[in-house]
């Protein structure tokens, strides 16, 4: 059984109905901060990620329990957990938990203080609520996918960071925490409807503001921060690697030019002369192509030119700054992102390893929970 840890959410009891992607990530985030998370694996459930369970970071810090939710005994065990929980997280299509007997009405009837977190792509209602989807389809509908990519090229998929985890999981977490705060005043739980389309649209607040204000073209790759500007872009180096540049402000731009030895060149186009941005980009590209990525890292070390090497996933954990901060931890010789954010008084410590196999005794979990309490419970 996973040992309960300290952290700002110590004492918070969470039931997660097992699924994929954003809902497990949200539950992992709560576990990282000290919550006691029980992931209920559905017996005979469908698709599972093809990964060694020892390295499934999304399951770290959790207890795992296998229940047949279609059986009377399995449903009764799940509802007993719900009765003692603070939070439930599920990521199924609308209506699935209702058919299982674990919908919001059934759970809140057993536990009126429960915060019931629902994670979907399209939301609990609307014409597409019952349709299948994945990260790119949600982004496609809200405008974010259209905005990401090179001018004249197709939209580019930004991994699943924008949709599943940014616009999905993190909005579910923030909604759950907001509902828990409200519960401290009302004494009542409620349902949190977190939809990826809503979250990604909310993340697009700045681009939509700029579009409305006339500072954004609704054409990808032509704007200030989408690779349209030559001083906010990535450039190939002589060793076929890349550096990232984001020298927006004049002092930073001046240091970029100094590092590239282009300062004082009267033939160089002005930073804000959009008509000559193509020429300026070509000059930058030619300069960056004269040295390796790591040589440019040395050139710009200690400067505010906002130039950084583009590191691979294999390289990033060894970066000096990230090592100093402990941004990554190591488990069985493999790098793993550490919990974030940090807290000054209630550190969570090293997260427990992902369980390799689920348990089958809910009584042990309830016994552990009986020794835990939150204010007002």
Residues annotated as part of the active site: 134, 164
DSSP string, 239-285: TS-EEEEE--SHHHHHHHHHHTT-TT-TTSPPTT-GGGHHHHHHHHH
Query: At a CB cut-off of 8 Å and minimum separation 6, what does 57 contact?
Result: 28, 336, 337, 354
Instruction: Judge if the upstream peptide bond of residue 359 is cis by omega within 30 degrees of 0.
Output: no
**Rounded CA separation 256/274 (Å):** 18
Long-range own/partner contacts, residues 154-157 (CB < 8 A, 24 or more apart): 155/220
- The residue among 61, 87, 86 whose CA lies nearest residue 3 is 61
335, 328 contact by CB (below 8 A): yes
Sequence-distant (6+) residues with CB within 8 A of 33 are 7, 8, 9, 339, 343, 348
CB 227 within 8 Å of CB 150: yes
Scanning the chain, the segments in alpha helix (DSSP H) are 22-32, 72-84, 96-100, 104-110, 135-142, 144-147, 170-186, 196-203, 205-212, 250-259, 277-288, 293-300, 320-325, 362-370
206 with 59: CB under 8 angstroms? no
Side-chain-side CA neighbours of residue 22 (13 Å): 29
């Amino acid at each position: 059984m996973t040992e309960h840890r300290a952290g700002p959410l110590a004492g918070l009891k969470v039931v997660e109905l097992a699924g994929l992607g954003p809902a497990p990530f949200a539950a992992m985030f709560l576990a990282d901060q000290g919550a006691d998370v029980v992931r209920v694996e559905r017996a005979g459930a469908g698709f599972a990620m093809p990964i060694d369970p020892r390295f499934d970071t999304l399951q770290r810090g959790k207890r795992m329990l296998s229940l047949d939710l279609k059986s009377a005994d399995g449903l009764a065990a799940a509802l007993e957990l719900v009765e003692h929980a603070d939070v439930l997280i599920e990521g199924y299509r609308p209506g699935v938990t209702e058919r299982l007997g674990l919908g919001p009405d059934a759970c809140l009837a057993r536990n009126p203080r429960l915060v019931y977190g629902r994670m979907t792509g399209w939301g609990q209602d609307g014409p597409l609520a019952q349709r299948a989807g994945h990260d790119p389809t949600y982004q496609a509908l809200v405008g974010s996918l259209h905005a990401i990519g090179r001018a004249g090229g197709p939209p580019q998929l930004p991994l699943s960071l924008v949709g599943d985890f940014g616009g999905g999981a993190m909005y579910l977490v923030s909604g759950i925490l907001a509902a828990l705060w409200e519960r401290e005043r009302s004494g009542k739980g409620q349902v949190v409807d977190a939809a990826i389309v809503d979250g990604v649209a909310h993340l697009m607040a700045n681009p939509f503001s700029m579009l409305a204000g006339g500072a954004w073209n609704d054409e990808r790759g032509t704007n200030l921060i989408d690779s349209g500007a030559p001083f906010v872009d990535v450039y190939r180096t002589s060793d076929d690697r890349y550096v990232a540049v984001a020298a927006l402000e004049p002092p930073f731009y001046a240091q970029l030019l100094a590092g590239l030895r282009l300062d004082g060149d009267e033939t160089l186009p002005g930073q804000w002369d959009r008509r000559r941005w193509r020429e300026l980009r070509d000059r930058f590209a030619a300069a960056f192509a004269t040295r390796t990525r790591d040589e440019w890292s040395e050139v710009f070390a200690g400067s505010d030119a906002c130039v950084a090497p583009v590191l691979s996933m294999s390289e990033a954990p060894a970066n000096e700054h990230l090592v100093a901060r402990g941004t990554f931890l190591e488990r069985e010789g493999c790098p793993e992102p550490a919990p974030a954010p940090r807290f000054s008084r209630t550190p969570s410590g090293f997260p427990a390893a992902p369980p390799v196999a689920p348990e089958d005794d809910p009584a042990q979990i309830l016994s552990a929970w009986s020794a835990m309490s939150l204010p007002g419970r």
